[in-house]
Structures are given as C-alpha cells and as structure tokens.
Amino acid sequence: MAPMRFRIRRHFLAIGILLPLSAALLIFFASQSDARRDWPSAAWQTDNPSSHGVSSSGLARAESYAAANKTHSLLVIRHVRLIFEKYYPPFTALTAFDGKSVAKSLISIAIGRAVHEGLLPSIETPVHKILGDSRQNASWQSVTVRHALNMTTGIESIYADMIATSDWPAYIRGLPGTHPPGTVWHYKSDPMISSAVISAVAGVNARTYFQNTIGRALGLADFAWGQDPSGYTDGNGGALLTSRDMAKIGYLMLNDGMWNGDRLLPRDWVANVTFPSQSASRQYANIWAGATPTAITSPPIEYGLGWMCRKLNGVPWDAYWAFGGTGQFIVVIPSLDLVVVRTGSNGPSNDETVFPTLLANIVAAVADK
C-alpha cells in the first residue's frame, strides 16, 4: 500500500488534471450547444407548437382574440423556433411596421452597444461632457445618460414644440430644469438626448450605428428610421421593422445580449435596463417600455432604461417588453424561453386591455411552464 503522503499527492494530481479537463469539456459542450442553437441570423427556423410544449389549440384561441382586436401580425418564438406566425391582410411577412415607441428600446440597445465598444464610458457620464454645454444651461450639469434613458432628466419638453424646430436635441437642451435630475419620472422626449449622445460618440446617427453593429450581427434587413431636420435619429419612434426582425431583437435580449457566440451588449446590461428605474419613476424601466403613462395605468407600468415591466395576471413575473402606441410590442419572457411580437392599430382606450389579455392567452398555451 502506498504511503499516505503519496496517495494524497496522487489525489491532488488527479484533481489538478481533472479540473482543467472538466473546464475544457464544459467550454467544448457549451460551444457545441451554442452551435446547435441555430441562431436566426439568416432566417427563423419554423416548427409546430406541440414540439415545443405549446398547445396549438391554445394558440388558436389567442389568435382568435388577436384577429378580433385589430392585430396586423402576431409571432411566437420558443426554443429558437418560430412556432406561430400570422399576418392579417393586407400585411405580410415583408411589411415593415412602424413600431412607434419601440424605437426607445432600440435607442437603449444602441447605448448599450456604445458602452460595450468603449465609445461611451458609462451611462453615469454627464450629458454635457459628451454634447458640450454652449448654452451654459446650469440645469444640465447633473443630467447623465442614465437620466435620459429612464426619462428623469427633470427637463419638461413638449413634443409639438420640439418637432417644430430643426434640431430636436438642441431644443430639449435649451430648456430649464423643473426638477433635480433623477427625482421625477415623466414620459417625454428624453430619448432624443440619448440619440444625440450616440451621434456624438459614434460619429454617425443612431440608426446607422444600430444597423452597422446590432443590425448586421442579427441579420436585420436595412430599415428606415425617422430623423429630425438636423439628421438626428428619432429616439421617440419611427423605426420601420418587419415582425421577424423585431423577434430577433427580442431574442437578443432573451440571451442577455449574446448572439451566435458573440457578446453584443455588456454583461448584465439586459438585467439593468429591464429593472424598474426608481421609486420616483415606477413606470419606466430603462427604455424597454414605451407606452404613454395614461395608456396602461392599473397596475402601474414600471420602466427601466427603455423597457417596460410589471406584474400581469397570468404572465410570469420576469416578463418585460418594448411597447409602442396602438399596440406594437416585443415581449420577452426568459423563464419560458419565449418571445412574442405583435403589431396592430388599437386606440389608446383599449391598449390597456388588448396587450395583457393577448399575452396571457399566449402564456396559457404553454403547457410545460
């Protein structure tokens, strides 16, 4: 029998060999799993709902509700497969839909990409250090990129007045502060400041930057996105995307900013932007949101940094979404590995009912939740 010290030495030697080997195997199998994931950069692969734990009859009930409520398109993705897709004439898979305030969520993603690339040090950076402060407006000395993302700049802009000018960010930056930054949330045009920040740090407008970085990686079709007369991308709306491309954006968020093995957004960025901003602004996460404060009021929406989140009856607690007026939405539910895209033409009066009801019907169809 070998002496104790040699048995111990062999034991630790084995551990020293097995640990690196185990790590290497984990990396190998993770990469194989990632390779088998069939990322939808080129196109979504389709499959039947039942193969992914979703009831076809349950989805049929959801579709009936959608059809009766001015829906233009409805897509459901689970386990990286497009398991349901419906368009209502005259709309088709080739239609580029105006996501309206979904654009706010795209601006949030573009800011995240700029941070990841090192173009923007952090979202705690004061805006005046990026855009300058030629107006010497003291109200802007403490406003950060974070404040612009979650609409707590304390600057009360008026949309109609803004679009009457030739430079929308300059209009907002010329206004005096009404509240200290970070203390009061108000749904307004602060995303135009985020758009201007991207232009300043990237050297191109937000649409071009988004398309050249995120869009190219995801395989998005080149898409139109409105801008002001000075060329700043409209941070409030006007991005025209197909429903399938909207689903890719949701899938990027579902995967924590990873795409086909590449990290496109900072680690934990998704968790940060989909976490409700602060008690003073419980209606806006950090731009994955988008509805007007009067559109969905009970219970209140919580807004992070461009994404909306709140507890909905029949929907898992971890759901969050990009939301645009008249019922455009990209919903992500990580616990169900689910992405839902819907476009439509609801009025403000029934946005509050159609969105949660349709989403709850789809979730109810997931049999293995």
pLDDT in tens, 171-225: 999 999 999 999 888 889 999 999 999 999 999 999 999 999 999 999 999 999 9
**Peptide bond connecting 49 to the previous residue in cis, omega within 30 degrees of 0:** no
At 280 the pLDDT is 40
CB-CB neighbours of 30 under 10 Å = 11
Calculate ∠ Cα 112-116-121, nearest 5°.
90
Nearest Cα to Cα of residue 301 among 66, 288, 153: 288
Select 45-364's CATH number: 3.40.710.10, 1.20.1290.10, 3.40.190.170, 3.40.50.150: 3.40.710.10
- Region 264-290: mean pLDDT is 68
**Alpha-carbon distances, residue 150 vs 19, 294, 302 (angstroms):** 44, 17, 10
For residue 309, name the pLDDT band (cuts at 50, 70, 90).
confident
CB-CB neighbours of 357 under 10 Å = 18
Q: Which two tokens stand for residue 122?
A: 């952090």
Nearest Cα to Cα of residue 322 among 254, 369, 262: 254
What is the spatial distance between Cα 306 and Cα 194, in angstroms, rounded to a whole number? 11
Task: Tell whether the model's pLDDT for residue 26 goes beyond 80.
Answer: no
Q: Which two tokens stand for residue 301?
A: 């929406």
Q: What are the extents of the domains in the chain?
A: 45-364
Q: Please give the model's pTM, rounded to 2 decimal places.
A: 0.85
Q: Which two tokens stand for residue 72?
A: 């233009």
What is the spatial distance between Cα 368 and Cα 179, in angstroms, rounded to a whole number? 48
What is the spatial distance between Cα 215 and Cα 32, in angstroms, rounded to a whole number? 25
Task: Tell whether the model's pLDDT for residue 291 goes beyond 60.
Answer: no
